Amino acid sequence: MFAPLLGKPGSSKNNKTGSWRSFLKPKYLQKNCIACGLCKLICPESCIEGKEKNTFRADLAYCKGCGLCSQICPKKDIEMIKEQE
């Protein structure tokens, strides 16, 4: 019944959020990480990978640059930097 109103279903892979990220992106320093996993837990895009200390990183193809990961990191190991850097 609603089919004419809906477009074709897309997936996050087809609609990469990185194409409209804010002017900031996270830089994982990978120096003081304690593998607490908080950044991974809070990321609204679920685009953070990593398990061991100093291995966490964001997949920028999906990151929106919201900065939540940087804010929550207890070791200040994630910097938000300008997109060009």
Return residues touching ligand SF4 (CB under 6 A). Answer: 26, 33-39, 43-45, 47-48, 56, 58, 63-69, 72-75, 77-78
Pick between residue 16 and residue 36 the one whose CB is nearest to ligand SF4: 36
Pick between residue 2 and residue 38 the one whose CB is nearest to ligand SF4: 38
Whole-number minimum distance, CB 3 to ligand SF4, in Å?
32
CB count, 10 Å around CB of 25? 20
Question: Which residues, 6 or more positions from 74, have their beta carbon under 8 angstroms from its beta carbon?
Answer: 34, 36, 38
Q: Give dist(CA 49, CA 22) in Å, integer.
A: 20
Pick between residue 12 and residue 74 the one whose CB is nearest to ligand SF4: 74
